[in-house]
Homo-oligomer: A and B are copies of this chain.
């Protein structure tokens, strides 16, 4: 691998990148399971490490006719070497995709493998990885310490007791691991576990959720609990960005109807919008940073969901709008001193149309970097080109890895830094930035913007 890969052979891009590379990782949003770090068990094999948990990889294999059974996703005990070989045989499918780049970077930077995986070298590479996984250096905590992570945020459900986090914080890791409050289960009455979620919240918070006012009170207690365990942010995986201000009586009436089972589409959507509004108001009160991840239709395929569960690649984005949807909330708290919100999107048509104009005027709003399907070199270029004109660099936050795959954390940050370095160097060449400005932006994009905005 070339040292200056993905930097367009531009020596100035390398200079920018070097400044970025020296910075520790700030990861304010991701999906690493805190248990992996706490239990600190060795990863058993390359498949369990790199393939099974990565729905970016399994979905693309599925799209070319490789069954989830063949990949062991049905819980059957397949020989991991066989799965690895199957993956290698079909590795050409990933040509030019981010998954391919991330995987090669992991092979190279973590395991010292400097070859592109293929049918012939698959078995040998399997053995190299497997051998390293047995060493102390590849235990999760050792890896964490070697990754130069300053803060890593996990995602935790409404009623989590966070005992795991408390324990882990005592374990002496070289960086902080903090929870994020994600109240999705109690925010959508259409979820089959909505009432269970309310019960769990009652139990955990000690506040009986018998009214809308009590729901808010219980949420406030849990938010405080999260804050006490280091949380600085919430996250909301909503279908729509719609917010709605209801007065107390309206909210209570609606909540009663829903509890009584009147789950009409209108009631459901009104509740989702009203509770999202209230989450925002609470953020303005307690200072947790509100992250909005709207627009994915989850568990799109019923048969797949029933057989293999969630997060199997069958989450498909929908057309998205923000302007009218966020107006009630932003009119309430958009200029409040403590309110902070990060907006993400899967619909690129919102970049220049809505997101940059909103972030370019509201002091509370920052734009999250390209999310999910958009997290790539192409995606980063399109995003920066689209939002910078109107929002500048300082109304964005730094890279978000959003990953479930622990080993990909440093690799994803490294590639995002390379993409940004190449981007800044290009702007210098175009005469839109001076070299000095590009160099001053480097640590901001790689580190400081996220550290500051997420209060880390």
What is the interface of chain A, defined by CB distance below 8 A to chain B? 2, 5-6, 8, 59-60, 62-65, 92-98, 101, 116, 297, 300-304, 313-321, 323-324, 327, 330-331, 334-335, 346-349, 352-354, 356-363, 365, 373-374, 376-379, 382, 385-386, 388-395, 427, 430-434, 437, 440-441
B324 touches A297 (CB 8 A): yes
B323 touches A377 (CB 8 A): no
A116 touches B323 (CB 8 A): no
Give the shortest distance, in Å, between A140 (CB) and chain B (any CB): 29
Q: Which residues of B contact A427 (CB under 8 A)?
A: 96
B361 touches A313 (CB 8 A): yes
Give the shortest distance, in Å, between A384 (CB) and chain B (any CB): 9
Other A-B contacts than A63-B365, A357-B373, 13 sampled, CB-CB below 8 A, are A5-B431, A63-B359, A63-B395, A95-B433, A301-B331, A301-B334, A317-B323, A317-B353, A319-B319, A319-B323, A347-B353, A374-B389, A378-B388
Report Cα–Cα, A360/B58, bound state, in Å.
10
Contact partner of A94 among B352, B363, B373, B392, CB < 8 A? B392
Q: Which residues of B contact A2 (CB under 8 A)?
A: 431
A97 touches B392 (CB 8 A): yes
Q: Which residues of B contact A59 (CB under 8 A)?
A: 360-361
Report Cα–Cα, A318/B321, bound state, in Å.
7
A353 touches B346 (CB 8 A): yes
A373 touches B393 (CB 8 A): no
Q: Which residues of B contact A297 (CB under 8 A)?
A: 323-324, 327
Q: Which residues of B contact A390 (CB under 8 A)?
A: 97, 373
B431 touches A313 (CB 8 A): no
Q: Which residues of B contact A300 (CB under 8 A)?
A: 323, 327, 330-331
B116 touches A434 (CB 8 A): yes
Q: List 14 A-B contacts (CB under 8 A).
A: A63-B362, A94-B392, A96-B389, A96-B392, A316-B323, A318-B321, A319-B319, A346-B353, A348-B349, A348-B352, A357-B373, A378-B385, A378-B386, A379-B389
B391 touches A441 (CB 8 A): no
With A64-B363, A95-B392 as given contacts, are A318 and B314 in contact (CB-CB < 8 Å)? no
Q: Which residues of B contact A356 (CB under 8 A)?
A: 373
Among all A-B residue pairs, the 7 with the closest Cβ atoms: A349-B349, A376-B389, A59-B361, A313-B361, A378-B385, A373-B390, A65-B363
